[in-house]
Structure 1
């Protein structure tokens, strides 16, 4: 039996960075992202535009840093609770706030991270925490080490991610 596979390029097309490719197996109903990065130039530009304000996912989707949910066939792609606003809370407060939070169900089966460059994984900070993350052992270790060694920020909050073994 043949299955149709659909690829949707949600970032990284005709530019360097921000790779996000949605792969759908239409026969099995499987949806996974290959990478979920952020284009650092677009993100920096968006950050400058909202420097004094709290940056929200809507601002990132409006500025095409992240895909808009209405443009892709995925329900509840982004987290409702695990978005860290480093301007209003400290890191420990946010961890405590998130400890008993549960994001709504999503129909995305997972995200596969190809390698540990930020333009391939930095969007993980914003995703629904029910989505499984697949990565090689070394890739996962590098991503976690980078997150721990940098100042806790909006784009670097990986608490609650479901790393698959």
Structure 2
């Protein structure tokens, strides 16, 4: 049990998450309440193993989980799958399930912070990834080099497809 605002805060740069259930103590997944800064775009990426779930609590978040016709390096907001599906701009109550190996992304397109409930069963504990990403964003003043992001993601079984953006 945790009181309101309880749990370990993981913060740095555009990353701010409140860890509710850690990888070491999970039955299913690391569990977070996450604040998504205005303009933050995680970029489209794929996890080899593990599932993720996202539930928007406040604000608006663009979410995407689909296999695009073309995994372009450009903006995932332009992606479309064979059936014509594109990203969803979701407010409170919007939900996204991500199966293993599925390209997915989220971004806050607004000028206001957004919040979401997030679960991840990705290898290594997502809280460790967030802590290292937060440090990387802090040390690089929000502009990490592509090789630094790739190295971090490789340690957690992640392939970045489009660039992460913090503004």
Please, what TM-score do these two structures have when normalized by structure 2? 0.34
User: Structure with the greater relative contact order (CA < 8 A, sep ≥ 6): 1 or 2?
Assistant: 2
Please, what TM-score do these two structures have when normalized by structure 1? 0.34
Higher helix share: 1
